A = this chain, B = another copy of it.
Amino acid sequence: MENEPLLMLPGPVPIPERVRAAMTRQAINHRGAEFGAVYQECVDLLRPMFGTKNDLFVLSGSGTAAMEAAVANFCAGTTMACLVNGKFGDRLSEIGKRYGQVREIASAWGTPLDLEQLEEALEEGAGVVTMVHNETSAGMKNPAPEVGALARKHGALFVMDGITSIAGDLVEADRWGVDVALVGSQKCLAAPAGLSAISVSAPAWEQIADRRPFYLDLEAYRKSGAKSPMQTPYTPAVPLFLALREACRIIAEEGLDARIERHRRMSRAVRAAAGAWGIELFPVIDAVHAYSSTVTALKIPEGIGDADFRGAVKSLGVEIAGGQDHLKGKIFRIGTMGAVGAPEILAALGAVQHALARLGVPVEGDGVEAAAGVLG
């Protein structure tokens, strides 16, 4: 659209018109049947995206609120083994420190998690493992099934941040042994920012903390969720629920398998472009770690500045992301999340390719053509 930048970020992502239009509904009483049906439909449609049959709640707060809800409700009474190889793993660990004992198992951002150290921590009695499934800060997918198996073997809870994987990549919370899983609305769901959802297993409920925060008290969510019509304990962000329902309906129409395959193909296309250009991908992967299929992190070529580079891309109407914290100026990231497809990928890669040329970066080949080959 004229004058609208195309957001190719790891969230927020472009929101389909149907989803935005859903928010214009006049105010409804959130204790009534209409809102209850909206909430229930969101839950029913989200469960398969989580791969869970567990309790599931939608929180009126961002993904960070869901991270805190997970930690504050289920992790406070034990040692948390927090796996960290990026910004959001680090955030879970930071939140953990506000509530209890954290044993951080840190690798450099974008490098594999240390599962041997994790096993050691579990042997020494850590009661919870936290992990970010898709670490957007590094463009990396962490090994959820393997970590889930370790947690299960040692009887520990597994809290998995699926904020940027659920609804875009395969997540099988129940099969992998994930006790608490999270998603954010403005990522692969392609809904507006402001909501998150959290699933809770029976073993997690058994370990719920006695002293819980108030707004994020999941016991209160459980009680209100069991009412008929279904309710939230406090006033929900009603327009965002209406938008989320519409976003979930669109996902159901596409089909989850097709959506996951589309995300994988889009990220393969970006990686193919990087390969054609001769630009290195940032993450270091191994047999159990993988490149993210919802965001690709690439190294910024030598000799060009982040602001110049992304500015040149933006002058063509495309917003891509830079690196966060110590990766600022070192990497750039292209989101392949939500409702976007081949046109958006080609536009983004075309803009990047032009920016590289404008800044005098020699590239080996035609990245746009390489991506088109994957997408077509």
Assess A15 versus B27: contact at CB under 8 Å? Given A239-B192, A239-B243, A240-B194. Answer: yes
Per-residue CB contact flags for chain A residues 28-66 toward chain B (1 = under 8 Å, else 0) read 111000000000000000000000000000001111110
Say whether A24 contacts B24, CB under 8 Å.
yes
Chain B residues positioned under 8 Å from A1 (CB to CB): 26
Bound-complex Cα distance A28 to B186 (A) = 11
Q: Is the CB of A14 closer than 8 A to any CB of chain B?
A: yes
Chain A contributes a number of interface residues (CB within 8 A of B) equal to 53
Say whether B98 contacts A235, CB under 8 Å.
no
Q: Is the CB of A110 closer than 8 A to any CB of chain B?
A: no
Q: Of residues A211, A238, A319, which shows the largest number of chain B Cβ atoms within 10 Å of its Cβ?
A: A238
Say whether A214 contacts B68, CB under 8 Å.
yes
Chain B residues positioned under 8 Å from A25 (CB to CB): 20
Q: Is the CB of A12 closer than 8 A to any CB of chain B?
A: yes
Q: Of residues A9, A24, A95, A195, which shows the largest number of chain B Cβ atoms within 10 Å of its Cβ?
A: A24
Say whether A192 contacts B29, CB under 8 Å.
no
Bound-complex Cα distance A216 to B7 (A) = 28
| Neighbour of A27 across the interface among B94, B192, B212, CB < 8 A | B192
Say whether B68 contacts A192, CB under 8 Å.
no
Chain B residues positioned under 8 Å from A215 (CB to CB): 61-62, 64-65, 68, 216
Q: Is the CB of A359 closer than 8 A to any CB of chain B?
A: no
